[in-house]
Amino acid sequence: MEHIVFLDSNTLIADLRLPKFAHQWESYPATSPGEVASRLNDATIAITNKVALRREILDGLPKLGMIAVAATGTDHIDLACCKERGIVVSNIRNYSVHTVPEHVFMMLLALRRNLFAFHGDIRGGEWQKAKQFCLFTHPVMDLYGSTLGIVGHGAIGRAVEGVARAFGMQVLVAEHKGVAGVRPGYTPFHEVLERSDAITLHLPLNDATRNMIGEAEFKRMKQSALLINTARGGLVEEKALRDALLSGRIAGAGFDVLSKEPPSEGNPLLEIDLPNFILTPHIAWSGRSAMQTLADQLIDNIEAFVAGHPVNRVA
């Protein structure tokens, strides 16, 4: 009988159906690093959203046959160790192709139209004492006709592209950074930085993408450009972003992710109190319908593994 342990069930708000096969189910709202080994000691299947499973833990879990990741990203899982030990790792695919693009465009619209700056003016009494019916204290820019650079063209990136074209935006899809050849339909990475009015990131965090945007990249961007990141905090050098915002090197940014979450020990981006910087607490993925789709697919992945034909494998 399978022994399934969900290490961080509080990260998912959904009606989670239980698997149809015979099993023992254990669920913990959260699990600290020091509790992982004991809680998975007898587990054959582990469910984790963000609890890290590294080699030092995995080597002590001989019964573990599967890790069901309750997310798309797997940078917190030692995939190399899992392959060595024959542990199947399955993740969730394409569940957030509507909710994340909506979050992206919420940020883009708010920043392009200076929503928070105008809100601040009203709270400060500027409109109330104006001598005409409207305020022109900040520029209002349209999305229509502007250029959006998309870095990462998977399911979410393609969904963002569809919304952008519906707004009448021009779209540039970035080729991988640093590669010599450019695929048809793609634009060199440096050219996307230089030509885009806004850039949005939709790619995983790994050794090739970590800190892919830093001081040098900000210098290539238009001074009127926006940067949106709803993917992973480690894709952008956070101090460089803070400096770019405070110096006016770029026009604004919208981030849903930080390099360490929660930012209990502080973060350079928490120091910013500007109307042209939006920070949300890693919620772009969490639309209720999206989380239900995630929950359903999570159990589908587990049932497929037990049936002998794993799906959505990353290891």
Residues identified as active-site: 232, 261, 282
Query: Which residues does 293 contact at the CB level (< 8 Å), separation at least 6?
Result: 95
CA distance 65 to 41: 12
| Sign of the CA dihedral running 153, 159, 160, 166 | positive
CA distances to 155, 208, 228 from 196, in Å: 21, 22, 12
CA distance 17 to 237: 40
In DSSP terms, which residues pair with 26 in a beta bridge?
Answer: 5
CB distance 253 to 245 below 8 Å: yes
In DSSP terms, which residues pair with 46 in a beta bridge?
Answer: 5, 67
In degrees and rounded to multiples of 5, residue 126 shows phi and psi of: -65, -40
CA-angle at 193, arms to 191 and 198, nearest 5°: 125
CB distance 76 to 57 below 8 Å: no
CA distance 273 to 74: 32
Q: Which among 220, 234, 143 has a CA at the least distance from the CA of 189? A: 220
Beta strands across the sheet bearing 147-151: 170-173, 147-151, 198-201, 226-229, 252-255, 277-279
Q: Which among 280, 278, 275, 279 has a CA at the least distance from the CA of 139? A: 275
